Structure 1
Amino acid sequence: MRQSLYDFAGGERAFEPFAAALHERCLADPELNHPFSHPGQHPQHTQRLAAYLAEAFGGPASYSAECANQSHVVWLHAGNGDMSDLGRRFADCFMLAADDAGWPDDPEFRAAIRAYIDWAVDTVAMSHPDDTDIPSGLPLPRWSWDGLEREALDKG
């Protein structure tokens, strides 16, 4: 059986440095810095982001167990109206953060995580630009080498 994206990235120790690098890159971006620097941000934002991404890539279900479900994540990003090119900018920062954190430069791995972040931007950040009517109980999506795992969405 092929190892998960989580394990291939380096397991538990790989996600907090990645989340920190992503946060720093977003703060440095002139367009992305506003949503990443607002005063209402959770004090453990980076750790929660690390747990979310670790779970999404096949790691332990810590985010779902200790923080929230996907409905909450979509709600956090909903109602922002037209976000122009913020999604593309975020996806670019995501990929550069993989370099910063020392994630493997394997082309298949990079293609899988790029496919994830492109999907996630469309599904999370761009799915409810004017509408905060989010379905309750959405499970956190799981992403594999082959893309979205259907069974994860069928649970919950």
Structure 2
Amino acid sequence: MEMGNPEQDGPPTLYDWAGGEKALTELTEAFYREVLKDDLLEPMFRGMSSDHPRRVAHWLGEVFGGPTTYTAERGGYSTMLGMHLGKAITEPQRRRWISLLQDAADEVGLPADPEFRAAFTGYLEWGTRIALANSQPGAEPVKHAPVPHWGWGVHRLHALNRADHAYVTRRVIRLPNRVIMTGRRVFHVMLFRFALGLARFR
């Protein structure tokens, strides 16, 4: 799978980490194959255009820090908004959409590290909840806005480059799973200490 340049300054974008346009296109193609077999989602997507998966791949790519292809070719946020207006999406449909897309991510081999999957799933949750709200009868969404840009979030590991991140992950898997709980946060103690030590030497 094509990956981002590990020598670049700063952390890679989610787009690069995922594998770029090729990986996201494979993701959406695998996803929509299953959507058209699904009893909850098929009625919503019946009759979709053959290039719909590619368009969604471009949207995800732009959101995750890649090229602005969706905006250039489709018009950006307002076009995506228009795809959901009046659809009256239900909560079961929203959850099924996320579930099938996560299954597709596994099928096509998107990175499985916890940081990427947390960021990926975070966007899916946020985006689908916005889409559900905007799709309801009488909704009055913001009509014009920029395409959202989704990043890694606040993780200490993201101070590391990709090579160091992979090294940390491989090493920590072999360490005892010592964790401490503080409210809703769970810290893998050995991972945090090791990552912090690497960051100090960069």
Q: TM class by shorter-chain length?
A: 0.7 to 0.9
Which residue of 66, 73, 79 corresponds with 1:72? 79
Matched residue, 1:152: none
C-alpha displacement of 1:135: 3.1
The residue type equivalent to 1:62 in the other structure is T
Aligned position for 1:55: 62
- Using the TM superposition, give the Cα deviation of residue 133 of structure 1 relative to its aligned residue in structure 2, in angstroms: 4.2
Determine the C-alpha separation between the residues in 2 that align with 1:21 and 1:29.
Answer: 13
Deviation, 1:9, is 0.4
Would you say the 8 A contact 2:89–2:135 is kept in 1? Answer: no
Instruction: Verify the 8 A CA contact 2:28 2:54 in the aligned structure 1.
Output: yes
Q: Note the alpha carbon deviations across 1:115-139, whole angstroms, 9 max, x for none.
A: 1000000112333311364433221
1:129 corresponds in structure 2 to: 136
Which of 11, 35, 43 is the equivalent residue of 1:26?
35
Q: Which has the higher contact order (CA 8 A, sep 6+)?
A: 1
Offset, 1:90: 0.4
How far apart, CA to CA, are the structure 1 residues paired with 2:142 and 2:51? Answer: 25
Q: 1:133 to 1:42 in 2, by over 3 A?
A: farther
Q: Does 1:100 align with 2:107?
A: yes
Question: 1:6-21 counterparts in 2 under 5 A?
Answer: 6-21=15-30
Contact 2:62 2:149 (8 Å CA) reproduced: yes
Residues 82 and 4 of structure 1, relative CA distance in 2, 3 Å threshold: closer
Shift of 1:16: 0.8
Task: Assess if the C-alpha contact under 8 Å between 2:13 and 2:64 holds in 1.
Answer: yes
- The runs of 5 or more residues in structure 1 that have no matched partner are 148-156
> In 2, Cα distance between the equivalents of 1:112 and 1:82?
23
Of structures 1 and 2, the larger Rg is shown by 2
Q: Displacement, 1:27?
A: 1.5
What SS does structure 2 have at the residue aligned with 1:127?
A: helix
User: Is residue 15–residue 54 contact of structure 1 (8 Å, CA) maintained in 2?
Assistant: yes
- Give the unaligned 5+ runs of structure 2: 1-9, 155-202
Is the Cα–Cα contact under 8 Å of residues 62 and 69 in structure 2 kept in the other structure?
Answer: yes
Q: Distance in 2 between matches of 1:117 and 1:61?
A: 19
Which letter does structure 2 place at the counterpart of 1:136? K
Contact 1:78–1:125, Cα closer than 8 Å, also in 2: no
Query: Does structure 2 retain, via aligned residues, the 8 Å contact 1:74–1:125?
Result: no
Contact 2:58 2:70 in 1 (8 A): yes
Aligned length: 145
Query: Is the CA contact 2:134–2:140 (under 8 Å) kept in the aligned structure 1?
Result: no
The match for 1:44 is 51
Alignment root-mean-square deviation, CA? 1.7
Mean Cα deviation higher: 8-17 or 119-128: 119-128
2:36 alignment partner, SS class: helix
